[in-house]
Each structure stands twice: as C-alpha cells, then as structure tokens.
Structure 1
Amino acid sequence: MESLFGTEPLEDFKSVSQDMFNHLYGNTENITAINSTITAATQELKQLIIQCNFDLDQVAAVIKTKSWDKNKIQHFLTLLQAKRTDLLYSLLTHSNSSHGESLSNFNWVLKLVLGSSELKSLKYPLVQLMLHTDTPQGNKRQRMYELNKEALAKFITVLENVELK
C-alpha cells in the first residue's frame, strides 16, 4: 500500500482510497481512476485483512504502526470505520461465493390464483421465490421460482435434510 499512501496531493489520495473501498470485493466498472496503484493497494489490503484473520481493528492497528503521512492514515482509518459494515458483508459474500454460487438475498411473494371456466373454479396459492446469488466470478444472478403447495412442501423438506459440512 506504499503506492497508495504515496499518492499526491491529499485530494487524489482521498479519491483513490474511496474508490478502492467502494470496490474492494465488488466489480470495478465504476472506478474513476483505474490504475496500477488501486489494483496493487487493493490486493495488499486484501492480504492484510487475511493476515489479520478478518479483524478490522487489527488491520487498523497495523496501519497505525506505519510511517506514512498521518493525515492520510487518519483518512484511511476513517474510511475503514465508515465502510466497516459494508466491508464485512462483502468479505462474507466473497468468501462464501469463492466456494460456489451462494445466496446473497431472497424475497418471496404469496399469490392467490383465481380463475374460472364453465367446468370449475380455480383457487390455489402460489409462492413466488426470488433468489439473488453471487458466483465465484463476482457476477450477480437473480432466479425466480413459482411453487405450489406441494412443491413448496418438497422444497422445505429438501432444505431441512441438507447436511452441513
């Protein structure tokens, strides 16, 4: 992270470090200044987080011991604290998705389907399940399933019988 903390002037350092935190474990499409400084600093920060066993307080302690510009260190630690929740969520999602596609969010809607014909009236419930997943490559997917009562019961049974490693 020497190259990051060597960025001059202070405003450029703030901009680059903000971009780095915003895209540490996400895609890098919107980074305003993609360059080797951000790439190298991102990799070094990831390694530091791993070396500190994902303890962000320990990461902050290590950074405080460096002989870099105190204003830059203070700004960096302020960003680290401000992005703490998002960073921990990104770490967890990245770690889980590195082992295969993982669920990042879900939503469900209960629907009641009504219909009629000359022969009979239809009235049955459906559950619409939307799963948001992350792939090992960092892509996000959305999958939608509609389940009737029997399919939902089978789905719940399968989930209850999953063996955890």
Structure 2
Amino acid sequence: MNWTDERVELLKKLWAEGLSASQIATQLGGVSRNAVIGKVHRLKLSARGRASAAQPRTKKAPSVSPAPVQKPVARPVRSAPASVGATALAVQFEAQPAARAMVHMSENVVLPISRNLTLIQLTERTCKWPNGDPLSEEFSFCGNEAGEAGPYCGYHSKLAYQPASERRRAR
C-alpha cells in the first residue's frame, strides 16, 4: 500500500481529532492498524486533539468538614502520549510507590545461623532457603535441619508459608 499525499493528510486530520489507530485504519481502508501506527511514528505526530481531556476536572468543595487525608497510591498518569520510538504509548507512573504490608510473627522465633551450604551439599533433611544472589560466588543455602513437612527449617517455613487469614489481612 502506498501512502499518497491525500491519505497522509487524512491520517493527520483523523489523528488530531483523537481517533484510535484502528478507527483510522477502518476509515482509510486497505491499511492495517499497525501500518497506521508506523506512519504516525515516522511522521512524528505527537499531539492528540482531545481538548476536554487536557483540562483538569474540578469538584465543588463540600460545606461540611473535609474527610481525613489518605496516602496516595501509585496510579497511571493519563497524558497525551509522546510519539518517540517504542515508548510512544507507554504508561507513565507517579514516583510514589504503594506501602508494603508488614508481616508480624505470632511467636518469638530465633533466627538460625546459616550453615551456608552449596547446592551439592544439600540433602533431603537440610533447609533449602537461598541466601544472596544466585549469580554471585557467595551464594549459598541455609542448610539447617528441615522438618518432615517441607524443604525449609522452622524459621524459613514461617516466612514462606503464611496462614491464609494473614494474607487476606495484608491486602
């Protein structure tokens, strides 16, 4: 398919009106959505003609006292996509990450001293909890006595297997 001057002008007009690549491909006919996206990138079309989305929404303030302030959660920032290479339609996020939930142990558990075993030294009865980066020379496994129920010692079992009620609470 050849891009004639008329088809390119129609593409620019429809893109500025805010139509999606699929809608533009349908109106042009004989061209795929990906071809439209490729041509948009080659033409370096960045601004979309959505005037209503660019204006911030305002709400009237209530006459009663304001509600308590909640911590913000990282959410996607909706802005006009910039057509620069493969990042043209990438979603941008705010810099504030969501808070992590803390897991509280119900019992006083003593942290075992790791025996720092290699993979070859592990047996059926040793704890297979990994220590460190697997790609580094210092990588090892806990190596303490593992119970009958699983591959980890008592301490690492409590870390690995949380009761369902605590998992629900953490959400």
Class of the TM-score when normalised by the shorter of the 2 chains: under 0.3
Q: Hey, which of these two has a bigger chunk of helix by percent?
A: 1
Flag the structure with larger Rg: 2
TM-score after normalising by structure 1: 0.28
Query: TM-score when scaled to structure 2?
Result: 0.27
Structure with more of its chain in strand, by fraction: 1
Q: Specify which structure has the bigger relative contact order, considering alpha-carbon pairs within 8 angstroms and separated by 6 or more residues.
A: 1
